[in-house]
Structure 1
Amino acid sequence: MDLRRIRTLLCALVLAIAGGLAVGSPAAAGERCISTPGQYQAAWQAREVRCVEPTLFATTHSRGDNFLYPSGFAYAWAGSSVNLEAYLKLRHRYGDQPAKVGVGILSYVGYPGLETWPYPTDLAVYTLPRGVHATVPTFAEWFRLVGKQLGFPRAALRDLERAYTRLGRNEDVVDAFEDVTGCQRAALLDGAFPGPEIGCNADFLAALTAAGPSPYEGAESTQCFANFAAGYAGPRNAAALRAVLYQCQDAGFLNTGVGRGYNTYADPLICKPAAAQSVEQRYTGREFILPNVTLDALPSSVNIPLDIGEPGQRPFLTRGFC
């Protein structure tokens, strides 16, 4: 299958996702959808289920951090109005069990390692500055943003997209990540870092090494990309491209490459254990990327503290939320 055919299939998938998810919660007769962060916070406090205008976005971030995402990242990941509507449903359903709300949101976003996640986290709800647009983070979009500048041929994008579009019925994006990088699925889900001991291939590991520290370690995305461009001597293939996105811009092993969230935990709005949910049921809302800025640079925003309970006390992640 050639690259044009793969790109066509991916575009169709993204459009299908967008069409299926954009419906959201209908407005009641005479009721307008939430259009400001303040209105959203009021609905949250009242445990109301409301529709949300697509001009609102949300990002989870460390409590006390003034940036949407850690300051070294060039782009922040953002959830859509569809996500915001789901969070109101979680608050409405589990408001008397606040850890299910907070951890459910983190799961919906796509956090791994939530069984032991200890870090206080807030939900920022905001509007975008004039002229700033959110972008769907497909692999093709990342290739447009950084791939060409880093010397990747289109064949690298083609092979990466193929791995994620040729999944079997019961395979998911973690399987695709393993196929591209060699890193073993079970080890990743157990919290292991990429390395030769979990089967990661030489090209993936060499690209990680060349890119250097991630923004989580105090570096910057721009320097991470520059490090790779200057220091990587291996083949610029799908494994190396996946490594750059992983290291420099937090596109982890749960990233779908089509602008849709995913997790291996139980979907918090589906009353089944994780093992009884299909792969399709564990896909969540829509995600975007946008320039990473401070909260005070946004036209309007609110911070909602999330109660995540106690690490090690979250059996609902696998047993089901309801």
Structure 2
Amino acid sequence: MTVHQLIARPRTRLLTVLAACLFVLLGGVPGALADTRRDPASTDCISTPAEYKAAWDARQVRCVSPSLFGTTHTRGDTTLYPSGFWYAWAGSNTNLERYLQLRSRYGDQPPKTGIGVLSFVGYPGLDSWDTPTDLAVYTLPAGTRAQVPAFETWFRLLDEKFGHTDAYPLAAQRDLVLAYSRLGPGEDVVGAFQDVTGCKRARLLKGAAPSAAIGCSRDFLDALAAAGPSPYDGASSLACFANFQSGYTGPRDAAALRGVLYQCQDAGFLNTGVGLGYNTYANPFVCKSAAAQTVRQRYTGREFVLPNASFGELPSHADIPLDLGSPNQRGFLQKGYC
């Protein structure tokens, strides 16, 4: 062994020990230096709405208990979803964790946080959205089930509620599910919606309402008409479904079934039918423009449905106002967030 080796070996050992210590201090993950806002107690997951709001206000990034859910709603509402809806849509704890990351990263650019949350949820029309909107974080009453909003789930819930009505034939359910489960490379759920209903993708993304003028099929439009007003217009989901079941006289095909879910339960054209969120805007967590992001990258978080309820019926909840800025501050929806 040379003198150089005798000197170098202790030095190498020392560097190895120092590197190991640094690895432990940084949590052993690549990029840990960039996560400077993670709370030291982040292994103690947030378990109450009040804790979540405190973490939001402090711009902390922490894990969130699966017992917490989040739903965005118009400011001033007294229910999770407008009162006529049978079920409310809800984001999971993983979504809530993502929102804390947005708040931490873009707290100095509030529109990227507020609009980013709405985009992650799956709102269309965000280029001009100006409705004051809050994020409700809450726990569920004992015995309440949160369910994955797959197409099959909806038809099972309808069978449980109304009994076997022949309104939703298995063959049509199959065709609807297959249309969404056989997407090719570069194809997305908006394209699947177009394939099933005929409504032109480009027109939908520009804010056009379903109509024959944008190519929507007769079966789809007749299903909307038979179902009657949406709960957004003061009706109820259950009346909407009952109207379709008794009043629709056309073919009960995939287009008709997609129409009744669209009209009665807010399963819009961005709905994936598999329990994942999706949007055509840039994903806030992918540093590319919307055009450069792949379809896979534009899927967002896990979503559930649960019985709609007033805030007073929930064991606990906290409301967080979202700062949406103004429409002229939203170039990031297309150009990307980072």
Q: Report deviation, 1:226.
A: 1.1
TM normalised by structure 1 equals: 0.90
Shift of 1:72: 0.6
The amino acid across from 2:205 in the alignment is: L
CA contact 2:39–2:61 (8 Å) conserved in 1: no
2:61, 2:104 within 8 Å by CA — same for their partners in 1? yes
Between the aligned partners of 2:232 and 2:188, the Cα distance in structure 1 is: 26
Structural RMSD (CA): 1.4
256, 271, 276: which one aligns with 1:240: 256
2:123 is paired with a residue whose SS is coil
**Alignment partner of 1:88: what SS?**
helix
Structure 1 residue identity aligned to 2:139: T
Check 1:58–1:30 CA distance in 2 against 1; reply closer, same or farther (3 A cut). Answer: closer
Distance in 2 between residues matched to 1:30 and 1:68, nearest whole Å:
28
8 Å contact 2:43–2:63 — kept in the other structure? no
Which one of 70, 94, 100 corresponds to residue 82 of structure 1? 94
Q: TM-score, normalised by structure 2?
A: 0.86
TM superposition shift of 1:320: 0.4
What is the alpha-carbon distance in structure 2 between the residues aligned to residue 272 and residue 30 of structure 1? 29
Structure 1: 5+ residue stretches without partners: 1-25
Q: Is the 8 A contact 2:43 2:62 kept in 1?
A: no
Secondary structure of the corresponding residue to residue 122 of structure 1: strand
CA–CA distance in structure 2, aligned partners of residues 65 and 315 of structure 1: 29
Q: What code does the residue aligned with 1:240 have?
A: A
* Residue number in structure 1 paired with 2:140: 128
Q: How far is 1:150 from its partner?
A: 5.9
Amino acid at match of 2:66: P
SS in 2 for 1:275: coil
Q: Distance in 1 between matches of 2:120 and 2:102?
A: 10
Retained in 2: the 8 A contact 1:150–1:225? no
**From 298, 301, 318, the counterpart of 1:302:** 318
Deviation at 1:269, TM superposition (A): 1.3
Pick from 112, 127, 138 the counterpart of residue 124 of structure 2. 112
Q: Given residue 90 of structure 1, which amino acid in structure 2 is its aligned partner?
A: L
Offset at 1:27? 9.4
User: 5+ unaligned residues in a row in structure 2: which ranges?
Assistant: 1-37
Tell me, yes or no, if the aligned pair for 2:49 and 2:138 is still in contact at 8 Å.
yes
* CA–CA separation in structure 2 for the residues paired with 1:249 and 1:305: 25
Which of 39, 49, 59 is 2:51 aligned to?
39
Maintained 8 Å contact 2:221/2:259? yes
> Take 1:221 and 1:272, find their aligned partners in 2: how far apart are those partners?
39
SS in 1 for 2:88: strand
Displacement of 1:313: 2.9
Aligned match of 1:313: 329
Query: The residue matched to 2:134 in structure 1 has which SS?
Result: strand
